[in-house]
Structure 1
Amino acid sequence: MFSFSRRLAACLGAAVFISSALQAAPFAVLCDSCKSVRPLATDKVVEYDLYITEQKVSPAGKPVRALMINGLLPGPTLRFREGEWARIRVHNQLKSEETSTHWHGLLLPNEQDGVPHITTPPIKPGATHTFEFKLRHAGTYWYHSHTHLQEQIGVYGSIVVTPKGAEREKVDRDQVLILSDWTNEKPEEVHRTLARGSDYYALKRGNAQSIVGAWQHGALKEYWEREWGRMSPMDVSDVGYDAFLINGRKESQIEGRPGERVRLRLINAAAASYFYVTSSTGPMTIVAADGPAVQPVEVDRLFIAIAETYDVIITIPKTGRWELRATAQDGTGHASAYMGAGAVHPATDPPRPNVYTMDEMLNLTLEEQEDDPRASLNLPRPGSPYRLLKAVEDTTLPKGRPQRKITMRLTGDMTRYVWSFDGKTMAEDPYVRLHHGEVIQLELVNDTMMHHPIHLHGHFVRLINGQGQRSPLKHTVDVPPMSRRTVEFEANEEKDWMFHCHILYHMMSGMARVFSYDKPAAPADGGIGESQMVHPSHTASSAVEGTSSDHHGGSLGEHAHDMWFLFGAASAQSHMSEGNITLMNARNDLILGWEVGWQDVDDTQYEIEALCQRYLSPDWQLFVGARLTNDEDAENRAVAGVNYRLPLIIWASASVDSEGDLRLALAKRFQITSRLGAFGRVEYDTNTEWEWTAGVDYTLTKEFSLIGEYHSEYGLGGGLQIRF
């Protein structure tokens, strides 16, 4: 009897503890039955079939290849009720491409997460994969491909999970609005253009920096200070897009009658664009962020990061046609959704960014530190409304768990287009080790000049925003330039989960990791210690193979190696030709360069360099290779040297050849206007002595420029420069 009473008391105590923990931390503590992999006979199963096909579409006026889901752009909205089971069959009807589907923001079993190789097998051409999981929480979510760059060209759609009971906020109507960006270029070409360091997209967007532009903006001092500091031109976006879309169109309709309250489920499914959302009806009321409900709060303009979702409520005015506008962060365009009928009442755009000064970035950083949580929202170009977000329930994580602090720095080189954590790409350092049962405090420090939306698969994180026990839960967190965010979460899963920047081209360039579960955590010691970032069992060989050898046989798939890009440029001038062809990945370059001249010399002369170059940092590169020439004063030689970036972004080069001769060179480019540039190079070789060149070029298109150049040996000439 005594034994039975003790057991009963223990069971009752455990029940009370679990109940209170669940109330205190929704999504944080999860029971085993919630993670079951098969529905019971009494469970309701909601089924969908998604067919991924290739079609031609023209959202920006030009027919281009897209990947459609059920013939739609975006794919269909998948609707469920909390507690139901999803059974989704994804049919890959592509002829020669694998595909995948990730259920962004949903908590589900690891093998259902949809990241090819890391959690779920890729879906082969002609094959079907069935996903089956329980809807454990309500909210607005979305799904998208996690294969290559397919998300950019159409493989995305929305998910709506309504709560078991009624919604907290009563509305008359409910509608999904998916924001996205569109390019008429192939996404692979977009990525190659970014990787080669081209300023074409800045030119296309109308915010390319130049000396004349700095003078016109009254920012010449700032321009030269930036150059002296060896900083690349500041930018707020990467890609020059051809259109911005809401539900696949430049203009969409919000359904509803005058006087109705409408819940708009906003999803930023863009590949590389943040948006400012404004309604001409007045302030919007935020009632949910990244799925979970928050206490209602009004904002005049909503800054929404890539991969975030917000539920907002608006009321349709009694008369007139009113606009909800999503304006790209770089100010180059917008998409609209209209409600009502009659005279049009347009929404307004925020001012375009001034890329010549860092005032906007500094003001945002300072305003986010003010006591007033609305301070940053009062800026003409506000930041994320995080300090206003307050959970509707206590989200405190369980007490008495082992605690650990992990600091991760967001790093990158915009010119070379290498993005990373702590200076290393995912291929170089793939794993962050987690112990099941510990509480992780994750500090994200942004060392770059761009916003980054950071997403952790399979978990919600508590955003530490000054709301204490009511800190909001999120799956994606915007980290502003030269700033930091702190989040925390309970490591309550297993196996491997992706963690990455949700700018598609940043993730594919290396800003990603795998959060990998290992053995259970040690007993709590009451403190927060620094983490060991790299999984100790992942040796150099296992990193190359992309395997996690200690708990299961997953691989890194396409993230196991850095991507390679091939590009080049050549001039065809009246007196000479020069150019190069480069094969590049994150750290290595294979370069074939040439200079050929025929004017003012007796015979055509050439010098060809074949180099292997190692990227060490934005300021340093080492190279070795061969220098071939028919100059009668020289001969073919092996060569080794270093490039170094000086203040004012002057490139210095020093090399020594196999005959012991030394070559020193300085090179500089001046961007006079957005299209007109001037360049010069001077070198001294202890064998061939002095050589110099100076010229100008004028950009016509992405591929072609006019060029005029004077060379100390071949004289004056001009022609066409071609980029390929």
Structure 2
Amino acid sequence: MPDFEALAGVDQGLYLILLLLTLLPALGVKSLVFRPIGGAMASSARWTFCLTGLALLVSLGQWGSTWLLYESFGWLYIKDKLLGFLPLILLPAIVTAMVSIPRLWRLSTRHPIVVPFVAVQGMARASADEETAWRQEAAAPEMIVPIQALSLGAFLAATLQFILPSVTLQKEMLMIAWGVLLAGSSALWIWHSWRQQRYGQSGILHRSNLIVRFLQGTFVLLLLTACSVTWLKLERQSSLLPDQMSMTNHTTIDTGKMQASAVDHAQHASAATPIQTIRVTDLSGPQTGVPDRQFRLIAQKAKIHLPSGKVVEALTYNGQYPGPELRIKQGELIEVVLENKDIPEGVTIHWHGLNVPNAEDGVAGATQDAVLPGEKHRYRFVAQQSGTYWYHSHQQSAEQVKKGLLGAFVIEPATPTGSPAAPKLDLSLVHHKLGGGAGITLNGMDGLLKERVVPGTQVRLRLINADSFPATLQLQGTSFQVAAIDGNEIHEPNLIANQTLLLAAGGRYDVTFSMPKQSVFISQSKASNEHGLLLSPDGTGEAPVLHPDLPVFDPASYGSPQTLPFDLLTRYDRDFRLVFDVQLGFYNGQLDGLWTINGKVFPNTPMMMVKEGELVKMTFINRSYMDHPMHLHGHHMLVLSRNGIPTTGSPWWTDTLNVAPGETYEVAFRADNPGLWMDHCHNLNHAASGMTMHLLYEGVTSPFQVGHQTRNQPE
């Protein structure tokens, strides 16, 4: 399969090349009439012919690249191109090839006029007629307008490609583009018909002098500039986020594509039982009873001293980076009291990957207000799951997580596994890039960690990627098993070695092995052997050199299959399709590259509406140039297929799925945890610039607000 980024880059590059190649003949063809009759005009026509032909070849190349995208990645990767962009080029290209190209060829091969020194009246009249014929041909709107319309179509197609790539999802913009093309072509036809009448005669042409043409060009440029500035101001103004709004007030409500039987059932149920409304604050954990575990986390500023000698101004829980590891047993009632000592923007705690009751989810403006300095907030819930999770602030998370407001959260099984007599090492490893120039750290260390481990010890390393980008990790020195993904145990995991582990931003892998008699080293694949964790029988030794090119571990075919609660053949109650693109535009008044969902950014992204108990399917399509680790709060998704190929190994349950460029995933879950849940890219900078949507259960409301005039900025 071709590399998506390379193929899509070539495809987009062809739009720019075509725009340039059509612009040159579009400007040159209208000046042919002013060239001297004979060889000079024919020569200019030949150059215009060649440039126009080259532009038509590039347009054919666009169709070729579109076909390759279709063959390699499917219909959804070319839908907007085929229905939106390419027709704007196709129609003018066909007319240009059939009408303009033959006329240019005739003009370029026409024999020059030879005027005799002594001309009789009849011969002079014949020369004037031939000169008129040349100029009529050179000024013909049938030759000029298709070429200029092709240039206009190329401009519109390139604009839509880079400004509005999901054009078929916004049909009003497509209609505007076609309106501009048709109106522009009509205006050009009228203009060039008048020019043909004016200049299509024999004799000396009286072309406007240079100063007049300069003033005309300046006027057109100023007019275009004024229109562009006005449009940019309007776009900037419309991009400003509301000063205050509810997270439930998305402008786009998506109910999913329901099957006919599901529609009938939903309508019948709706008529029989009116929807009961409930506030997210009522969807809480147990508010009474003595907790089994209590923790107190104080959010505060602190200076972090790293082993390398770097000192970083950080945001911390309890003055630590990462925050203290919270370790509990499955089934225990946990109580965590969050205090904010001195972080003026406010803080929260989100339990990443844990399906807590909605009120305990820790999202500012959705499930609670941000905790300001001097305030406290209490979280209470029963740990129903076991596995590896982590916690972090969900207030200005792109900044606060970057600065250190995060920590590991481990829930051990209620019933211990393995031999109780065997020695064990259960260690969490938090991969994170700390802001302030600190770089990549592992458990807050930016050097080589060494630990003594007795051979034969059963080792479980809980790998947590708390960074906003995928982490590629290598484990050298032993074979191992990937025992769990995102807190979900793998059924009968295979023993593997010499594979790179790709962790999504926010994702977790548990790897297990029996400690050998030699050293074991784990580190980021691109790091040197001076960074990472070295386990050895005596706690010393040198880390091995990492392999640069190892195959990437594939969870889609790992482990043994089990009976699934639903699969690709299941009839789903809701079916959501989510297309990820990148486009140039404004977000909250700032011009930037926007990472969009179905062509929109928050709060215009889809609000996915569901009812409790429904089966929900989602399809992720990444047509952009970066990974998007999609994190659904409050639920775990079963991965059904990747790039159209069903998963075959152990059931792959995840809460943070890395969707790489050119990848398409189908996932499903049961809507069994009522509330208002974020579903966003866990590249937190993408989320902060609008790559956020929500899953809302019918009847659920939130009393909290987000916006500049509130205390809540969840991203």
Q: TM-score normalised to the size of structure 1?
A: 0.52
Instruction: Assess, with a 3 A threshold, how the Cα gap between structure 1 residues 398 and 303 changes in structure 2: closer, same or farther.
Output: closer
Quote the offset at 1:443 in angstroms: 0.4
Which residue is 1:326 aligned to?
A: 524
Q: 1:122 and 2:370 equivalent?
A: yes
Instruction: Assess, with a 3 A threshold, how the Cα gap between structure 1 residues 469 and 403 changes in structure 2: closer, same or farther.
Output: farther
Q: Deviations over 1:161-215 (max 9, x none)?
A: 1112123687622111111112325xxxxxxxxxxxxxxxxxxxxxxxxxxxxxx
1:479 is aligned, of 659, 676, 679, to: 659
2:350 is aligned, of 90, 102, 112, to: 102
3-state SS of 1:133 partner: strand
Q: 1:411 and 2:570 equivalent?
A: no
Query: Rg bigger for which structure?
Result: 2
1:506 is aligned, of 659, 663, 686, to: 686
Instruction: Give runs of aligned pairs for residues 144-293 of structure 1, distance below 5 A.
Output: 144-148=392-396, 149-167=399-417, 172-184=424-436, 242-254=439-451, 256-270=453-467, 272-293=468-489
Which residue is 2:611 aligned to?
A: 435
CA separation in 1, counterparts of 2:621 and 2:530? 30
Quote the offset at 1:65 in angstroms: 1.2
CA separation in 2, counterparts of 1:162 and 1:446? 35
CA separation in 2, counterparts of 1:482 and 1:399? 24
CA separation in 1, counterparts of 2:596 and 2:550? 31
| 8 Å contact from structure 1 (residues 182, 244) kept in 2 | yes
Which residue is 1:52 aligned to?
A: 299
Quote the offset at 1:349 in angstroms: 3.8
Structure 1 residues without counterparts, runs of 5 or longer:
1-34, 186-240, 352-378, 520-549, 564-724
Q: TM-score normalised to the size of structure 2?
A: 0.53
Quote the offset at 1:267 in angstroms: 0.6
CA separation in 1, counterparts of 2:628 and 2:530? 21
One-letter amino acid of the structure 1 residue matched with residue 615 of structure 2: V
| 8 Å contact from structure 1 (residues 39, 85) kept in 2 | no
Q: 1:64 and 2:312 equivalent?
A: yes
| 8 Å contact from structure 1 (residues 443, 484) kept in 2 | yes
Normalized per residue, the structure richer in strand is 1
3-state SS of 1:417 partner: strand
CA separation in 1, counterparts of 2:712 and 2:380? 32
CA separation in 2, counterparts of 1:121 and 1:562? 6
| 8 Å contact from structure 1 (residues 39, 45) kept in 2 | no
| 8 Å contact from structure 1 (residues 293, 391) kept in 2 | no
Quote the offset at 1:36 in angstroms: 6.9
CA separation in 2, counterparts of 1:551 and 1:269? 30
Q: Deviations over 1:81-139 (max 9, x none)?
A: 11111100011111523011100111111110000011122111111111000101111
| 8 Å contact from structure 1 (residues 393, 470) kept in 2 | no
| 8 Å contact from structure 1 (residues 89, 128) kept in 2 | yes
| 8 Å contact from structure 1 (residues 251, 338) kept in 2 | yes
Q: 1:138 and 2:406 equivalent?
A: no
One-letter amino acid of the structure 1 residue matched with residue 681 of structure 2: C
Which residue is 1:316 aligned to?
A: 515
1:294 is aligned, of 486, 490, 507, to: 490
Structure 2 residues without counterparts, runs of 5 or longer:
1-282, 585-590
CA separation in 1, counterparts of 2:539 and 2:295? 38
CA separation in 2, counterparts of 1:294 and 1:67? 35
| 8 Å contact from structure 2 (residues 557, 648) kept in 1 | no
One-letter amino acid of the structure 2 residue matched with residue 75 of structure 1: G
Quote the offset at 1:408 in angstroms: 0.2
Which residue is 1:551 aligned to?
A: 701
CA separation in 1, counterparts of 2:594 and 2:568? 38
CA separation in 1, counterparts of 2:529 and 2:593? 24
3-state SS of 2:621 partner: strand
Which residue is 2:326 aligned to?
A: 78
Quote the offset at 1:554 in angstroms: 3.7
One-letter amino acid of the structure 2 residue matched with residue 266 of structure 1: L
Q: 1:387 and 2:567 equivalent?
A: no
| 8 Å contact from structure 2 (residues 557, 649) kept in 1 | no
Instruction: Assess, with a 3 A threshold, how the Cα gap between structure 1 residues 516 and 389 changes in structure 2: closer, same or farther.
Output: farther
Q: Deviations over 1:583-604 (max 9, x none)?
A: xxxxxxxxxxxxxxxxxxxxxx
CA separation in 2, counterparts of 1:334 and 1:109? 42
Quote the offset at 1:67 in angstroms: 0.9
CA separation in 1, counterparts of 2:523 and 2:457? 19
| 8 Å contact from structure 1 (residues 293, 392) kept in 2 | no
3-state SS of 1:317 partner: coil
| 8 Å contact from structure 1 (residues 454, 501) kept in 2 | yes
Q: Deviations over 1:452-502 (max 9, x none)?
A: 211000001111144569522111111111111111011223231011111
Which residue is 2:676 aligned to?
A: 496
3-state SS of 2:667 partner: strand
3-state SS of 1:416 partner: strand
| 8 Å contact from structure 1 (residues 279, 347) kept in 2 | no
CA separation in 1, counterparts of 2:310 and 2:651? 45
CA separation in 1, counterparts of 2:329 and 2:287? 15
CA separation in 2, counterparts of 1:94 and 1:393? 51
| 8 Å contact from structure 1 (residues 183, 243) kept in 2 | no
Report which stretch shifted further, 488-497 or 83-92.
488-497
Q: Deviations over 1:611-649 (max 9, x none)?
A: xxxxxxxxxxxxxxxxxxxxxxxxxxxxxxxxxxxxxxx
One-letter amino acid of the structure 2 residue matched with residue 108 of structure 1: V
Instruction: Assess, with a 3 A threshold, how the Cα gap between structure 1 residues 36 and 246 changes in structure 2: closer, same or farther.
Output: closer
Q: 1:424 and 2:600 equivalent?
A: yes
Instruction: Assess, with a 3 A threshold, how the Cα gap between structure 1 residues 433 and 169 changes in structure 2: closer, same or farther.
Output: farther
| 8 Å contact from structure 2 (residues 425, 459) kept in 1 | yes
Quote the offset at 1:556 in angstroms: 4.1
2:633 is aligned, of 432, 436, 457, to: 457
Quote the offset at 1:280 in angstroms: 2.0
Percent identity at matched positions? 26
3-state SS of 1:108 partner: coil
CA separation in 2, counterparts of 1:334 and 1:483? 34
Which residue is 1:229 aligned to?
A: none
3-state SS of 2:415 partner: coil
CA separation in 1, counterparts of 2:459 and 2:618? 36
Greater relative contact order (CA < 8 Å, ≥ 6 in sequence):
2
